[in-house]
Amino acid sequence: MDKARLEQFYTLFEQMVSIMTDPEHFVREDLIGVLEQICELFRLAKGVTEFYMSPELEAAKDGEILVDFDNGKADTEIITRRLIGAAGSVVIGRVFVSEDAQDLSGEELEKIDLVVRCLLSFVSRNRLSNAVERLGYYDEDGYPNVRSYNRFLEGVNARGRITKYTAACYNLRHFSMVNRDIGRERGDAVMLEYFRLLEMAAGEDGIVCRLGGDNFLMFFQKELTDQVLEIFAGVPVQYDEKNGKRTLISATAGVFIVPDDFVMEHPGQILERVYGALNTAKTEQYGSIVFSDEKMLALREKMVRVHNAFPDALRNREFYVYYQPKVNVFDGRIVGAEALCRWIKNGKVVPPMEFIPVLEQGTDICALDFYMLDRVCEDIRRWLDQGRQVVRISVNLSRKHLVDVNLLEHIMEIVDRHHVPHQYIEVELTETTTDVAFRDLKRVVNSLQLRGICTSVDDFGVGYSSLNLIREIPWNVLKIDRCFLPGDLDSENSITSLMFRHVVQMAHEMGMECVTEGVETIKQVETLRKAQCSIAQGYFFDKPLPVEDFEQRMEQGAYI
Protein backbone atom coordinates (compact mmCIF):
# COMPACT_ATOMS: atom_id res chain seq x y z
CA MET A 1 0.00 0.00 0.00
CA ASP A 2 1.37 3.39 -0.86
CA LYS A 3 1.69 6.09 1.74
CA ALA A 4 -1.38 8.06 0.62
CA ARG A 5 -3.66 5.04 0.82
CA LEU A 6 -2.17 4.00 4.14
CA GLU A 7 -2.85 7.46 5.54
CA GLN A 8 -6.35 7.36 4.14
CA PHE A 9 -6.88 3.99 5.84
CA TYR A 10 -5.66 5.18 9.21
CA THR A 11 -7.85 8.25 9.09
CA LEU A 12 -10.91 6.11 8.39
CA PHE A 13 -9.88 3.55 10.99
CA GLU A 14 -9.52 6.25 13.61
CA GLN A 15 -12.97 7.63 12.75
CA MET A 16 -14.43 4.15 13.07
CA VAL A 17 -12.85 3.55 16.47
CA SER A 18 -13.96 6.89 17.81
CA ILE A 19 -17.55 6.19 16.71
CA MET A 20 -17.46 2.78 18.38
CA THR A 21 -16.03 4.03 21.64
CA ASP A 22 -18.64 6.75 22.19
CA PRO A 23 -21.77 4.68 22.82
CA GLU A 24 -23.79 7.64 24.09
CA HIS A 25 -23.61 9.42 20.74
CA PHE A 26 -23.63 6.34 18.60
CA VAL A 27 -25.45 6.75 15.27
CA ARG A 28 -25.54 3.66 13.12
CA GLU A 29 -25.48 5.65 9.88
CA ASP A 30 -22.16 7.28 10.83
CA LEU A 31 -20.54 3.90 11.26
CA ILE A 32 -22.00 2.59 8.02
CA GLY A 33 -20.63 5.67 6.23
CA VAL A 34 -17.09 4.99 7.40
CA LEU A 35 -17.37 1.29 6.59
CA GLU A 36 -18.50 2.12 3.07
CA GLN A 37 -15.44 4.27 2.54
CA ILE A 38 -13.19 1.51 3.85
CA CYS A 39 -14.82 -0.97 1.46
CA GLU A 40 -14.23 1.39 -1.45
CA LEU A 41 -10.64 1.89 -0.44
CA PHE A 42 -10.03 -1.85 -0.65
CA ARG A 43 -12.36 -2.45 -3.65
CA LEU A 44 -14.55 -4.74 -1.54
CA ALA A 45 -18.01 -5.80 -2.80
CA LYS A 46 -19.85 -6.64 0.41
CA GLY A 47 -19.53 -6.77 4.21
CA VAL A 48 -21.88 -8.62 6.53
CA THR A 49 -22.05 -9.07 10.31
CA GLU A 50 -24.17 -11.69 12.06
CA PHE A 51 -25.09 -11.97 15.72
CA TYR A 52 -26.55 -15.00 17.57
CA MET A 53 -27.28 -15.30 21.29
CA SER A 54 -25.85 -18.87 21.32
CA PRO A 55 -24.30 -21.47 19.01
CA GLU A 56 -27.67 -23.33 19.01
CA LEU A 57 -29.43 -20.24 17.70
CA GLU A 58 -26.61 -19.81 15.18
CA ALA A 59 -27.26 -23.35 13.90
CA ALA A 60 -30.95 -22.50 13.63
CA LYS A 61 -30.05 -19.22 11.86
CA ASP A 62 -32.07 -17.43 14.51
CA GLY A 63 -30.28 -14.14 15.02
CA GLU A 64 -29.54 -10.75 13.48
CA ILE A 65 -27.85 -10.39 10.12
CA LEU A 66 -26.71 -6.91 9.20
CA VAL A 67 -25.43 -6.01 5.75
CA ASP A 68 -23.02 -3.13 6.26
CA PHE A 69 -22.13 -2.63 2.63
CA ASP A 70 -23.14 -4.23 -0.66
CA ASN A 71 -22.46 -2.99 -4.18
CA GLY A 72 -24.31 -5.93 -5.71
CA LYS A 73 -21.23 -7.51 -7.26
CA ALA A 74 -20.20 -9.88 -4.46
CA ASP A 75 -18.82 -13.21 -5.69
CA THR A 76 -16.08 -14.56 -3.47
CA GLU A 77 -15.88 -14.57 0.28
CA ILE A 78 -12.34 -13.61 1.19
CA ILE A 79 -12.54 -13.25 4.95
CA THR A 80 -14.74 -15.09 7.46
CA ARG A 81 -14.26 -14.43 11.14
CA ARG A 82 -16.28 -16.04 13.90
CA LEU A 83 -15.98 -14.86 17.48
CA ILE A 84 -17.55 -16.35 20.61
CA GLY A 85 -18.35 -13.77 23.26
CA ALA A 86 -18.02 -14.21 27.02
CA ALA A 87 -21.73 -14.95 27.43
CA GLY A 88 -21.67 -17.63 24.73
CA SER A 89 -22.96 -15.31 22.02
CA VAL A 90 -21.63 -15.73 18.48
CA VAL A 91 -20.60 -12.93 16.08
CA ILE A 92 -19.55 -13.57 12.51
CA GLY A 93 -18.04 -11.17 10.02
CA ARG A 94 -17.84 -11.88 6.27
CA VAL A 95 -16.14 -9.88 3.54
CA PHE A 96 -16.72 -10.44 -0.19
CA VAL A 97 -15.05 -9.22 -3.39
CA SER A 98 -16.29 -9.26 -6.99
CA GLU A 99 -14.84 -11.66 -9.54
CA ASP A 100 -13.12 -8.96 -11.56
CA ALA A 101 -11.48 -7.30 -8.57
CA GLN A 102 -7.72 -7.15 -8.38
CA ASP A 103 -6.10 -9.49 -5.88
CA LEU A 104 -5.51 -7.92 -2.49
CA SER A 105 -2.03 -7.81 -1.08
CA GLY A 106 -1.12 -9.51 2.19
CA GLU A 107 -0.85 -6.08 3.83
CA GLU A 108 -4.29 -5.09 2.59
CA LEU A 109 -5.85 -8.33 3.84
CA GLU A 110 -4.27 -7.70 7.23
CA LYS A 111 -5.84 -4.24 7.42
CA ILE A 112 -9.26 -5.56 6.38
CA ASP A 113 -9.00 -8.27 9.00
CA LEU A 114 -8.20 -5.65 11.62
CA VAL A 115 -11.37 -3.74 10.72
CA VAL A 116 -13.46 -6.92 10.83
CA ARG A 117 -12.15 -7.90 14.26
CA CYS A 118 -12.81 -4.43 15.69
CA LEU A 119 -16.26 -4.46 14.20
CA LEU A 120 -17.05 -7.88 15.64
CA SER A 121 -15.99 -7.00 19.13
CA PHE A 122 -18.10 -3.85 18.87
CA VAL A 123 -21.18 -5.69 17.58
CA SER A 124 -20.80 -8.32 20.27
CA ARG A 125 -20.60 -5.73 23.06
CA ASN A 126 -23.37 -3.61 21.61
CA ARG A 127 -25.82 -6.49 21.13
CA LEU A 128 -25.04 -7.88 24.56
CA SER A 129 -25.75 -4.58 26.20
CA ASN A 130 -29.07 -4.54 24.35
CA ALA A 131 -29.77 -8.00 25.72
CA VAL A 132 -28.83 -6.87 29.22
CA GLU A 133 -31.21 -3.94 28.80
CA ARG A 134 -33.91 -6.38 27.76
CA LEU A 135 -33.25 -8.63 30.76
CA GLY A 136 -33.09 -5.78 33.23
CA TYR A 137 -35.90 -3.58 32.02
CA TYR A 138 -38.38 -6.01 30.47
CA ASP A 139 -40.14 -9.07 31.83
CA GLU A 140 -40.11 -12.54 30.34
CA ASP A 141 -43.09 -11.72 28.12
CA GLY A 142 -41.48 -8.59 26.73
CA TYR A 143 -43.41 -6.01 28.78
CA PRO A 144 -41.40 -3.17 30.33
CA ASN A 145 -41.00 -3.83 34.06
CA VAL A 146 -41.10 -1.65 37.13
CA ARG A 147 -37.40 -0.78 36.72
CA SER A 148 -38.25 0.81 33.37
CA TYR A 149 -41.00 2.70 35.16
CA ASN A 150 -38.73 4.02 37.87
CA ARG A 151 -36.10 5.02 35.33
CA PHE A 152 -38.73 6.89 33.34
CA LEU A 153 -40.11 8.59 36.44
CA GLU A 154 -36.69 9.67 37.59
CA GLY A 155 -35.96 11.02 34.12
CA VAL A 156 -39.15 13.09 34.13
CA ASN A 157 -38.40 14.28 37.65
CA ALA A 158 -34.85 15.26 36.76
CA ARG A 159 -36.24 17.43 33.96
CA GLY A 160 -38.49 19.10 36.55
CA ARG A 161 -41.67 17.96 34.80
CA ILE A 162 -43.14 15.56 37.36
CA THR A 163 -46.15 17.79 38.09
CA LYS A 164 -47.23 17.65 34.44
CA TYR A 165 -48.02 13.95 34.78
CA THR A 166 -50.65 11.47 35.93
CA ALA A 167 -49.81 8.08 37.41
CA ALA A 168 -52.10 5.05 37.31
CA CYS A 169 -52.04 1.45 38.34
CA TYR A 170 -54.51 -0.94 36.75
CA ASN A 171 -55.70 -4.49 37.02
CA LEU A 172 -57.76 -6.16 34.31
CA ARG A 173 -61.30 -6.87 35.47
CA HIS A 174 -62.52 -10.47 35.49
CA PHE A 175 -59.50 -11.48 33.49
CA SER A 176 -59.57 -15.06 34.73
CA MET A 177 -63.09 -15.25 33.31
CA VAL A 178 -61.82 -13.96 29.99
CA ASN A 179 -59.13 -16.62 30.10
CA ARG A 180 -61.70 -19.25 30.85
CA ASP A 181 -63.95 -18.13 28.02
CA ILE A 182 -61.44 -17.74 25.23
CA GLY A 183 -58.43 -19.77 26.43
CA ARG A 184 -55.13 -18.73 27.94
CA GLU A 185 -53.27 -18.07 24.73
CA ARG A 186 -55.89 -15.72 23.40
CA GLY A 187 -56.13 -14.25 26.87
CA ASP A 188 -52.45 -13.34 26.62
CA ALA A 189 -53.07 -11.76 23.24
CA VAL A 190 -55.97 -9.74 24.66
CA MET A 191 -53.81 -8.53 27.53
CA LEU A 192 -51.11 -7.44 25.08
CA GLU A 193 -53.60 -5.69 22.82
CA TYR A 194 -55.12 -3.83 25.76
CA PHE A 195 -51.60 -2.86 26.85
CA ARG A 196 -50.89 -1.54 23.33
CA LEU A 197 -54.05 0.57 23.38
CA LEU A 198 -52.98 2.10 26.66
CA GLU A 199 -49.43 2.55 25.44
CA MET A 200 -50.81 4.48 22.50
CA ALA A 201 -53.05 6.56 24.77
CA ALA A 202 -50.05 7.30 27.02
CA GLY A 203 -48.22 8.65 23.99
CA GLU A 204 -44.55 9.00 23.14
CA ASP A 205 -43.77 10.70 26.41
CA GLY A 206 -45.47 8.15 28.63
CA ILE A 207 -44.90 4.63 29.82
CA VAL A 208 -46.90 1.50 30.59
CA CYS A 209 -45.21 -1.34 32.42
CA ARG A 210 -46.25 -4.63 33.88
CA LEU A 211 -45.87 -5.46 37.55
CA GLY A 212 -46.75 -9.11 37.09
CA GLY A 213 -49.88 -11.08 36.31
CA ASP A 214 -52.54 -8.68 35.07
CA ASN A 215 -51.26 -5.69 37.07
CA PHE A 216 -49.81 -2.69 35.27
CA LEU A 217 -48.42 0.74 36.03
CA MET A 218 -48.66 3.86 33.88
CA PHE A 219 -47.24 7.37 33.79
CA PHE A 220 -48.39 9.89 31.21
CA GLN A 221 -49.00 13.59 30.64
CA LYS A 222 -52.01 15.01 32.45
CA GLU A 223 -53.84 16.10 29.31
CA LEU A 224 -54.06 12.45 28.24
CA THR A 225 -55.87 11.37 31.42
CA ASP A 226 -59.37 11.30 29.91
CA GLN A 227 -58.19 9.19 27.01
CA VAL A 228 -56.63 6.66 29.36
CA LEU A 229 -59.67 6.58 31.64
CA GLU A 230 -61.88 5.83 28.69
CA ILE A 231 -59.86 2.71 28.00
CA PHE A 232 -60.02 1.69 31.67
CA ALA A 233 -63.79 2.04 31.53
CA GLY A 234 -63.94 -0.60 28.81
CA VAL A 235 -63.07 -1.13 25.15
CA PRO A 236 -63.64 -4.03 22.78
CA VAL A 237 -60.40 -5.88 22.17
CA GLN A 238 -59.93 -8.17 19.22
CA TYR A 239 -58.63 -11.67 19.94
CA ASP A 240 -59.39 -13.52 16.72
CA GLU A 241 -58.42 -11.43 13.73
CA LYS A 242 -59.64 -13.94 11.14
CA ASN A 243 -63.16 -14.13 12.50
CA GLY A 244 -63.22 -10.61 13.86
CA LYS A 245 -64.02 -11.82 17.39
CA ARG A 246 -63.78 -9.27 20.16
CA THR A 247 -64.24 -9.15 23.89
CA LEU A 248 -64.89 -6.18 26.16
CA ILE A 249 -61.99 -5.46 28.50
CA SER A 250 -62.02 -2.97 31.34
CA ALA A 251 -59.77 -2.28 34.28
CA THR A 252 -59.92 -1.55 37.97
CA ALA A 253 -57.59 1.37 38.46
CA GLY A 254 -56.02 3.70 40.98
CA VAL A 255 -55.18 7.11 39.54
CA PHE A 256 -52.99 9.87 40.95
CA ILE A 257 -52.92 13.22 39.19
CA VAL A 258 -49.65 14.65 40.46
CA PRO A 259 -50.51 17.97 42.18
CA ASP A 260 -48.69 21.15 41.16
CA ASP A 261 -46.87 21.47 44.46
CA PHE A 262 -45.72 17.86 44.54
CA VAL A 263 -42.08 17.20 45.36
CA MET A 264 -40.81 13.74 44.52
CA GLU A 265 -37.98 12.39 46.57
CA HIS A 266 -38.31 8.82 45.32
CA PRO A 267 -40.67 6.98 42.93
CA GLY A 268 -42.12 5.04 45.89
CA GLN A 269 -44.13 8.12 46.87
CA ILE A 270 -46.09 7.92 43.64
CA LEU A 271 -46.44 4.15 43.77
CA GLU A 272 -47.90 4.36 47.27
CA ARG A 273 -50.58 6.75 46.07
CA VAL A 274 -51.68 4.66 43.08
CA TYR A 275 -51.56 1.35 44.96
CA GLY A 276 -53.65 2.86 47.72
CA ALA A 277 -56.23 4.09 45.24
CA LEU A 278 -56.22 0.74 43.44
CA ASN A 279 -56.85 -1.11 46.69
CA THR A 280 -59.83 1.12 47.34
CA ALA A 281 -61.00 0.55 43.78
CA LYS A 282 -60.84 -3.20 44.31
CA THR A 283 -63.42 -3.01 47.09
CA GLU A 284 -65.79 -1.65 44.40
CA GLN A 285 -67.30 0.64 47.00
CA TYR A 286 -66.33 3.81 45.18
CA GLY A 287 -66.47 2.52 41.63
CA SER A 288 -63.78 0.66 39.78
CA ILE A 289 -61.65 3.72 39.06
CA VAL A 290 -60.50 5.58 42.15
CA PHE A 291 -58.50 8.80 42.32
CA SER A 292 -55.93 9.23 44.99
CA ASP A 293 -56.80 12.62 46.36
CA GLU A 294 -56.90 13.96 49.90
CA LYS A 295 -60.35 12.46 50.51
CA MET A 296 -59.15 9.07 49.34
CA LEU A 297 -56.08 9.41 51.48
CA ALA A 298 -58.29 10.03 54.51
CA LEU A 299 -60.28 6.97 53.58
CA ARG A 300 -57.14 4.90 53.37
CA GLU A 301 -56.13 6.13 56.76
CA LYS A 302 -59.49 5.02 58.10
CA MET A 303 -58.89 1.61 56.56
CA VAL A 304 -55.50 1.39 58.18
CA ARG A 305 -57.12 2.32 61.50
CA VAL A 306 -59.70 -0.48 61.16
CA HIS A 307 -56.97 -2.88 60.22
CA ASN A 308 -54.86 -1.94 63.22
CA ALA A 309 -57.74 -1.91 65.69
CA PHE A 310 -59.08 -5.31 64.62
CA PRO A 311 -56.94 -7.77 66.62
CA ASP A 312 -57.66 -6.04 69.94
CA ALA A 313 -61.32 -5.57 69.08
CA LEU A 314 -61.66 -9.27 68.36
CA ARG A 315 -59.89 -10.23 71.56
CA ASN A 316 -62.08 -7.84 73.56
CA ARG A 317 -65.20 -9.33 71.97
CA GLU A 318 -66.35 -5.97 70.56
CA PHE A 319 -68.10 -7.79 67.70
CA TYR A 320 -71.71 -8.83 68.25
CA VAL A 321 -74.09 -11.11 66.43
CA TYR A 322 -77.31 -9.45 65.30
CA TYR A 323 -80.05 -11.76 64.07
CA GLN A 324 -82.37 -10.86 61.22
CA PRO A 325 -85.43 -13.14 61.03
CA LYS A 326 -86.40 -14.96 57.84
CA VAL A 327 -90.16 -15.14 57.72
CA ASN A 328 -92.66 -17.36 55.92
CA VAL A 329 -94.84 -14.88 54.02
CA PHE A 330 -97.89 -17.17 54.08
CA ASP A 331 -98.19 -17.81 57.80
CA GLY A 332 -95.82 -15.23 59.32
CA ARG A 333 -93.72 -17.79 61.19
CA ILE A 334 -90.01 -17.26 61.71
CA VAL A 335 -88.31 -20.06 59.79
CA GLY A 336 -84.73 -18.96 60.21
CA ALA A 337 -82.41 -16.01 60.76
CA GLU A 338 -79.23 -14.55 59.36
CA ALA A 339 -76.39 -13.73 61.70
CA LEU A 340 -74.97 -10.30 60.84
CA CYS A 341 -71.97 -8.74 62.43
CA ARG A 342 -71.98 -5.45 64.33
CA TRP A 343 -68.93 -3.80 65.83
CA ILE A 344 -69.83 -1.96 69.01
CA LYS A 345 -67.04 0.51 69.38
CA ASN A 346 -67.11 2.98 72.25
CA GLY A 347 -70.85 2.47 72.58
CA LYS A 348 -71.53 3.15 68.89
CA VAL A 349 -72.71 0.51 66.43
CA VAL A 350 -70.46 0.29 63.38
CA PRO A 351 -72.19 -1.32 60.39
CA PRO A 352 -70.36 -4.10 58.47
CA MET A 353 -69.84 -2.01 55.35
CA GLU A 354 -67.46 0.17 57.35
CA PHE A 355 -65.11 -2.65 58.27
CA ILE A 356 -65.82 -5.86 56.33
CA PRO A 357 -64.39 -4.61 53.01
CA VAL A 358 -61.23 -3.57 54.87
CA LEU A 359 -60.92 -6.93 56.61
CA GLU A 360 -61.51 -8.64 53.28
CA GLN A 361 -58.37 -7.11 51.87
CA GLY A 362 -56.36 -9.45 54.03
CA THR A 363 -57.31 -12.59 55.86
CA ASP A 364 -58.66 -10.88 58.99
CA ILE A 365 -62.15 -11.52 57.71
CA CYS A 366 -61.61 -15.25 58.21
CA ALA A 367 -60.87 -14.79 61.89
CA LEU A 368 -64.01 -12.69 62.21
CA ASP A 369 -66.20 -15.25 60.43
CA PHE A 370 -64.99 -18.09 62.67
CA TYR A 371 -65.59 -15.88 65.68
CA MET A 372 -69.15 -15.17 64.47
CA LEU A 373 -69.83 -18.87 63.91
CA ASP A 374 -68.52 -19.58 67.37
CA ARG A 375 -70.84 -17.00 68.96
CA VAL A 376 -73.79 -18.26 66.92
CA CYS A 377 -73.15 -21.84 68.04
CA GLU A 378 -72.88 -20.61 71.62
CA ASP A 379 -76.32 -18.98 71.31
CA ILE A 380 -77.92 -21.99 69.63
CA ARG A 381 -76.55 -24.30 72.33
CA ARG A 382 -77.96 -22.03 75.03
CA TRP A 383 -81.38 -21.88 73.33
CA LEU A 384 -81.45 -25.66 73.06
CA ASP A 385 -80.44 -26.06 76.70
CA GLN A 386 -83.14 -23.58 77.75
CA GLY A 387 -85.69 -25.59 75.81
CA ARG A 388 -86.44 -22.70 73.45
CA GLN A 389 -87.66 -23.14 69.94
CA VAL A 390 -84.64 -23.00 67.61
CA VAL A 391 -84.52 -22.12 63.90
CA ARG A 392 -81.75 -22.55 61.39
CA ILE A 393 -79.21 -19.71 61.57
CA SER A 394 -77.17 -18.70 58.60
CA VAL A 395 -73.67 -17.26 58.86
CA ASN A 396 -71.81 -15.39 56.14
CA LEU A 397 -68.51 -16.78 54.96
CA SER A 398 -66.25 -14.51 52.98
CA ARG A 399 -64.88 -15.81 49.71
CA LYS A 400 -61.47 -15.35 51.24
CA HIS A 401 -61.99 -18.70 52.99
CA LEU A 402 -62.19 -20.65 49.78
CA VAL A 403 -58.49 -21.21 49.47
CA ASP A 404 -58.17 -22.41 53.07
CA VAL A 405 -57.67 -26.18 52.86
CA ASN A 406 -58.58 -26.57 56.53
CA LEU A 407 -61.82 -24.59 56.22
CA LEU A 408 -64.11 -27.55 56.63
CA GLU A 409 -62.32 -28.99 59.64
CA HIS A 410 -62.36 -25.56 61.22
CA ILE A 411 -66.10 -25.11 60.74
CA MET A 412 -66.91 -28.60 61.97
CA GLU A 413 -64.62 -28.20 64.95
CA ILE A 414 -66.55 -25.10 66.04
CA VAL A 415 -70.01 -26.58 65.46
CA ASP A 416 -69.18 -29.86 67.16
CA ARG A 417 -67.39 -28.25 70.08
CA HIS A 418 -70.73 -26.64 71.00
CA HIS A 419 -72.61 -29.86 70.23
CA VAL A 420 -74.88 -28.06 67.83
CA PRO A 421 -76.88 -30.41 65.56
CA HIS A 422 -75.77 -29.64 62.01
CA GLN A 423 -79.27 -28.95 60.71
CA TYR A 424 -79.30 -25.64 62.63
CA ILE A 425 -76.39 -24.18 60.66
CA GLU A 426 -76.49 -22.66 57.21
CA VAL A 427 -73.55 -21.13 55.39
CA GLU A 428 -74.05 -18.18 53.03
CA LEU A 429 -71.52 -17.71 50.28
CA THR A 430 -71.49 -15.09 47.55
CA GLU A 431 -70.80 -15.73 43.91
CA THR A 432 -67.24 -15.81 42.73
CA THR A 433 -65.94 -14.49 39.49
CA THR A 434 -62.75 -16.44 39.02
CA ASP A 435 -62.57 -19.96 37.69
CA VAL A 436 -60.08 -21.05 40.31
CA ALA A 437 -62.29 -19.91 43.17
CA PHE A 438 -65.22 -21.56 41.43
CA ARG A 439 -63.64 -24.99 41.82
CA ASP A 440 -62.94 -24.30 45.49
CA LEU A 441 -66.49 -23.12 45.97
CA LYS A 442 -67.85 -26.35 44.54
CA ARG A 443 -65.62 -28.42 46.80
CA VAL A 444 -66.57 -26.45 49.92
CA VAL A 445 -70.32 -26.60 49.22
CA ASN A 446 -70.24 -30.32 48.52
CA SER A 447 -68.34 -31.17 51.65
CA LEU A 448 -70.54 -28.98 53.86
CA GLN A 449 -73.60 -30.72 52.52
CA LEU A 450 -72.07 -34.14 53.14
CA ARG A 451 -71.94 -33.12 56.79
CA GLY A 452 -75.56 -32.00 56.82
CA ILE A 453 -74.89 -28.26 56.72
CA CYS A 454 -77.06 -26.18 54.41
CA THR A 455 -75.51 -23.83 51.91
CA SER A 456 -76.96 -20.76 50.25
CA VAL A 457 -75.96 -18.47 47.40
CA ASP A 458 -76.02 -14.98 48.84
CA ASP A 459 -76.79 -11.84 46.84
CA PHE A 460 -77.91 -13.81 43.81
CA GLY A 461 -78.20 -11.51 40.84
CA VAL A 462 -75.52 -8.96 41.59
CA GLY A 463 -72.61 -11.13 40.50
CA TYR A 464 -71.53 -12.21 37.06
CA SER A 465 -71.50 -15.97 36.82
CA SER A 466 -74.92 -16.56 38.34
CA LEU A 467 -76.43 -19.17 36.08
CA ASN A 468 -73.33 -21.23 35.75
CA LEU A 469 -72.92 -21.02 39.49
CA ILE A 470 -76.27 -22.55 40.30
CA ARG A 471 -76.15 -25.10 37.52
CA GLU A 472 -72.84 -26.57 38.62
CA ILE A 473 -73.16 -26.39 42.39
CA PRO A 474 -75.97 -28.10 44.33
CA TRP A 475 -76.98 -25.28 46.70
CA ASN A 476 -79.86 -25.72 49.14
CA VAL A 477 -80.97 -22.10 49.18
CA LEU A 478 -81.03 -19.26 46.69
CA LYS A 479 -81.01 -15.81 48.31
CA ILE A 480 -82.28 -13.33 45.79
CA ASP A 481 -80.64 -9.95 46.19
CA ARG A 482 -82.89 -7.00 46.79
CA CYS A 483 -81.93 -5.46 43.45
CA PHE A 484 -84.02 -8.23 41.85
CA LEU A 485 -87.05 -7.54 44.02
CA PRO A 486 -89.56 -5.26 42.30
CA GLY A 487 -90.15 -1.99 44.15
CA ASP A 488 -93.58 -0.55 44.90
CA LEU A 489 -93.51 1.49 41.71
CA ASP A 490 -92.69 -1.45 39.45
CA SER A 491 -95.67 -2.73 37.48
CA GLU A 492 -96.37 -6.43 37.26
CA ASN A 493 -95.19 -6.36 33.66
CA SER A 494 -91.91 -4.60 34.33
CA ILE A 495 -88.72 -6.42 33.46
CA THR A 496 -87.77 -6.63 37.15
CA SER A 497 -91.13 -8.24 38.03
CA LEU A 498 -90.80 -10.65 35.16
CA MET A 499 -87.27 -11.65 36.08
CA PHE A 500 -88.14 -11.97 39.73
CA ARG A 501 -90.98 -14.41 39.05
CA HIS A 502 -88.82 -16.47 36.76
CA VAL A 503 -85.85 -16.62 39.09
CA VAL A 504 -88.13 -17.88 41.89
CA GLN A 505 -89.64 -20.45 39.59
CA MET A 506 -86.25 -21.56 38.38
CA ALA A 507 -84.97 -21.96 41.95
CA HIS A 508 -87.97 -24.13 42.80
CA GLU A 509 -87.62 -26.24 39.70
CA MET A 510 -84.01 -26.83 40.59
CA GLY A 511 -85.07 -27.98 44.04
CA MET A 512 -83.79 -24.96 45.93
CA GLU A 513 -85.42 -23.04 48.74
CA CYS A 514 -85.86 -19.41 47.83
CA VAL A 515 -85.34 -16.43 50.16
CA THR A 516 -85.79 -12.84 49.05
CA GLU A 517 -83.70 -10.20 50.80
CA GLY A 518 -84.59 -6.57 51.42
CA VAL A 519 -88.37 -6.93 51.70
CA GLU A 520 -89.47 -3.55 53.03
CA THR A 521 -93.14 -3.06 52.16
CA ILE A 522 -96.43 -4.93 52.32
CA LYS A 523 -96.65 -4.67 48.54
CA GLN A 524 -93.37 -6.53 48.27
CA VAL A 525 -94.68 -9.22 50.61
CA GLU A 526 -97.61 -9.55 48.19
CA THR A 527 -95.19 -9.84 45.30
CA LEU A 528 -93.44 -12.73 47.07
CA ARG A 529 -96.74 -14.46 47.74
CA LYS A 530 -97.80 -14.13 44.12
CA ALA A 531 -94.48 -15.45 42.89
CA GLN A 532 -94.70 -18.31 45.40
CA CYS A 533 -91.47 -17.27 47.08
CA SER A 534 -92.33 -18.28 50.61
CA ILE A 535 -89.46 -16.78 52.59
CA ALA A 536 -88.69 -13.09 53.13
CA GLN A 537 -85.94 -11.30 54.99
CA GLY A 538 -86.17 -7.57 55.39
CA TYR A 539 -87.05 -4.45 57.31
CA PHE A 540 -90.78 -5.03 56.76
CA PHE A 541 -90.54 -7.74 59.39
CA ASP A 542 -87.40 -6.76 61.28
CA LYS A 543 -84.00 -5.17 61.08
CA PRO A 544 -81.10 -7.28 62.31
CA LEU A 545 -81.77 -7.56 66.07
CA PRO A 546 -79.51 -7.85 69.11
CA VAL A 547 -79.71 -11.35 70.55
CA GLU A 548 -82.08 -10.46 73.42
CA ASP A 549 -84.53 -8.79 71.03
CA PHE A 550 -84.34 -11.75 68.68
CA GLU A 551 -85.08 -14.16 71.54
CA GLN A 552 -88.10 -12.06 72.47
CA ARG A 553 -89.26 -12.06 68.86
CA MET A 554 -88.98 -15.84 68.74
CA GLU A 555 -91.13 -16.12 71.86
CA GLN A 556 -93.82 -13.86 70.40
CA GLY A 557 -94.31 -16.34 67.57
CA ALA A 558 -95.76 -15.50 64.18
CA TYR A 559 -95.85 -11.96 62.75
CA ILE A 560 -99.28 -12.27 61.24
Residues that bind ligand C2E (CB under 6 A): 324, 340-341, 351-353, 356, 365, 369, 372, 396, 398, 428, 458-459, 517-520, 537-539, 544
Cβ 157 to ligand C2E shortest distance, Å: 43
Cβ 515 to ligand C2E shortest distance, Å: 10
Cβ 505 to ligand C2E shortest distance, Å: 22
**Is 420 within 8 Å of 413 (Cβ atoms)?**
no
Helices 352-359, 294-315: axis angle to 10 degrees equals: 90
Cβ 315 to ligand C2E shortest distance, Å: 17
Residue 209's binding partner out of ligand C2E, Mg ion, none, with CB under 5 to 8 Å set by partner kind: none
Reported as type and span, the H/E element at residue 241 is none
**Is 19 within 8 Å of 31 (Cβ atoms)?**
yes
Cβ 168 to Mg ion shortest distance, Å: 33
Give 484's contacts (C-beta < 8 A, 6+ positions apart).
Answer: 460, 461, 496, 499, 500, 503, 516
How far is the C-alpha of 354 from the C-alpha of 361, rounded, in Å? 13
| Rg value, the chain, Cα | 35
How far is the C-alpha of 282 from the C-alpha of 264, rounded, in Å? 26
Residue 538's binding partner out of ligand C2E, Mg ion, none, with CB under 5 to 8 Å set by partner kind: ligand C2E
CA-closest candidate to residue 428, choices 396, 403, 465: 396
Cβ 181 to ligand C2E shortest distance, Å: 27
The residue sitting closest to ligand C2E, measured at its beta carbon, is 538
537 binds Mg ion (CB under 5 A): no
Comparison of 172 and 365: residue with beta carbon closer to ligand C2E: 365
**Is 488 within 8 Å of 521 (Cβ atoms)?**
yes
Comparison of 206 and 538: residue with beta carbon closer to Mg ion: 538
How far is the C-alpha of 249 from the C-alpha of 235, rounded, in Å? 6
Residue 50's binding partner out of ligand C2E, Mg ion, none, with CB under 5 to 8 Å set by partner kind: none
Cβ 192 to Mg ion shortest distance, Å: 38
Query: How many residues line the site for Mg ion (CB under 5 A)?
Result: 5
Angle ∠(323,329,330) on CA atoms, nearest 5: 140
Residue 398's binding partner out of ligand C2E, Mg ion, none, with CB under 5 to 8 Å set by partner kind: ligand C2E
324 binds Mg ion (CB under 5 A): no
Exactly one of 50, 428, 513, 542 binds Mg ion (CB under 5 A); that residue is 428
Residue 341's binding partner out of Mg ion, ligand C2E, none, with CB under 5 to 8 Å set by partner kind: ligand C2E
Cβ 190 to ligand C2E shortest distance, Å: 32
Comparison of 458 and 542: residue with beta carbon closer to Mg ion: 458
Applying CB under 5 A, the span of 151-159, 312-320, 365-373, 390-398 interacting with Mg ion comes to 390-398
Bridge partners of 255?
Answer: 168, 291
Comparison of 276 and 544: residue with beta carbon closer to ligand C2E: 544
| Amino acid found at 512 | M
Bridge partners of 248?
Answer: 236
Cβ 433 to Mg ion shortest distance, Å: 16
Site for Mg ion in 469-528 (CB under 5 A): 517
459 binds Mg ion (CB under 5 A): yes
Q: What is the DSSP string of 346-393?
A: TTEEEPHHHHHHHHTTSSHHHHHHHHHHHHHHHHHHHHHHTT----EE
Comparison of 372 and 531: residue with beta carbon closer to Mg ion: 372
How far is the C-alpha of 81 from the C-alpha of 481, rounded, in Å? 75
Count Cβ atoms within 10 A of the Cβ of residue 32 and give its class: 0-12 exposed, 13-18 middle, 19 or more buried: middle
Cβ 204 to ligand C2E shortest distance, Å: 46
Exactly one of 89, 252, 280, 396 binds Mg ion (CB under 5 A); that residue is 396
How far is the C-alpha of 2 from the C-alpha of 112, rounded, in Å? 16
Comparison of 10 and 539: residue with beta carbon closer to Mg ion: 539
Comparison of 86 and 489: residue with beta carbon closer to ligand C2E: 489
431 binds Mg ion (CB under 5 A): no
Residue count of the chain: 560
How far is the C-alpha of 389 from the C-alpha of 336, rounded, in Å? 11
Comparison of 275 and 559: residue with beta carbon closer to ligand C2E: 559
Q: Three-state SS for 47? A: strand
Comparison of 162 and 504: residue with beta carbon closer to ligand C2E: 504
Q: Sign of dihedral through CA atoms 402, 405, 410, 413?
A: positive
456 binds Mg ion (CB under 5 A): no
Q: Which residues of the shown chain bind Mg ion in the complex (CB under 5 A)? A: 396, 428, 458-459, 517
